[in-house]
Amino acid sequence: MSAGRAAPMRVAHRGAPTRAIENTLRSIRIAEDAGADAIELDVRATRDGVPVLLHDRTLERFFGDARPVDAVDLAGVRMLDARSPDGVVERIPTFEEVLDATRTTLVVDVKTASMLAAIDAMITARDAYARIVFNGEPAMAEATRRAIPQARILMSWAKPELPPDELLARVRPFAVNLKWTDANAAAVPAYAAKGIAVWCWTVDDPDNARRARDAGVAAIISNDLDAIAPGLA
């Protein structure tokens, strides 16, 4: 690591998914207690419009229910549970519960633009914008900028080519979130030349963490912060 360069932020991907079911309150608290600098999470809406934490469109993968979450009211979602590897029963939390239960920076991947107004109201009511980052693909990033002009936006980008200037002007991201590949790693200096910080996802081994650190990324999103620690030492 170059002299004077800060170590990358360590961002826990959906909490601590190697220890507890992703996007649950306990998973998030484990990551927070372990010293994560920020926690990435996914938000979808129930049928009655309540923002809850879930990455997938359906409830199948962890909760054994093939229905889309937006086809189930919050009361039905509350009835579902699953066991983490250590046997603890986990349930799907609401975004509001997570806001109230945490103190760390939250990187919020909103899956449906219709939720933005409700999410904005929850954050505003708690005066919590200082610890909120919105993460999303370009279309969602643009929708977020329109709905929440003051949002700090991390725009996801999968290609080695830099995003078009017109898109960057519309979204005004403070950073771009790159899928970590060799081609994307080579593009980091080009982002730096434009004054755009780079985050990367998802890095789960020390060698790639070291490469990302040496490339100058500002933050590394990982499923296993303990695993990447040797690469950031």
pLDDT beyond 50 at 2: no
For 98-130, write each residue's pLDDT tens digit. Answer: 999 999 999 999 999 999 999 999 999 999 999
**For range 167-175, the mean pLDDT:** 97
pLDDT beyond 60 at 58: yes
The pair of three-digit structure tokens given for residue 24, joined into one six-digit string: 């649950």
**For range 29-56, the mean pLDDT:** 98
pLDDT beyond 90 at 37: yes
pLDDT beyond 80 at 4: no
Question: If 0-12 CB within 10 Å is exposed, 13-18 middle and 19+ buried, where does residue 160 land?
Answer: middle
Residue with tokens 């990551």: 31
Q: Tell me, what's the pLDDT at 160?
A: 87
Residue with tokens 């107004």: 117
Reported confidence tier of residue 6, pLDDT bands at 50, 70, 90: confident
Q: Tell me, what's the pLDDT at 134?
A: 98
Q: What is the pTM of this model?
A: 0.96
Q: Which of 150, 153, 203, 202 is nearest to 176 (CA)?
A: 153
**For range 142-158, the mean pLDDT:** 97
**For range 47-59, the mean pLDDT:** 98
| Alpha-carbon gap, residue 154 to 137, rounded angstroms | 9
**Percent of the chain with pLDDT strictly greater than 90:** 96
pLDDT beyond 90 at 5: no
pLDDT beyond 60 at 3: no
Check whether domain 9-57+93-232 has CATH 3.40.50.620, yes or no? no
CB atoms within 10 A of CB 184: 20
| Alpha-carbon gap, residue 119 to 135, rounded angstroms | 13
- What is the chain's mean pLDDT, rounded? 96
CB 113 within 8 A of CB 143: yes
User: HEC states along the chain?
Assistant: CCCCCCCCEEEEECCCCCCCCCCCHHHHHHHHHCCCCEEEEEEEECCCCCEEECCCCEEHHHHCEEEEHHHCCHHHHHCCCEECCCCCEECCCEHHHHHHHCCCEEEEEECCHHHHHHHHHHHHHCCCHHHEEEEECHHHHHHHHHHCCCCCEEEEECCCCCCCHHHHHHHCCCEEEEECCHHHHHCHHHHHHCCCEEEEECCCCHHHHHHHHHHCCCEEEECCHHHHHHHHC
Q: Tell me, what's the pLDDT at 1?
A: 46
**For range 10-18, the mean pLDDT:** 98
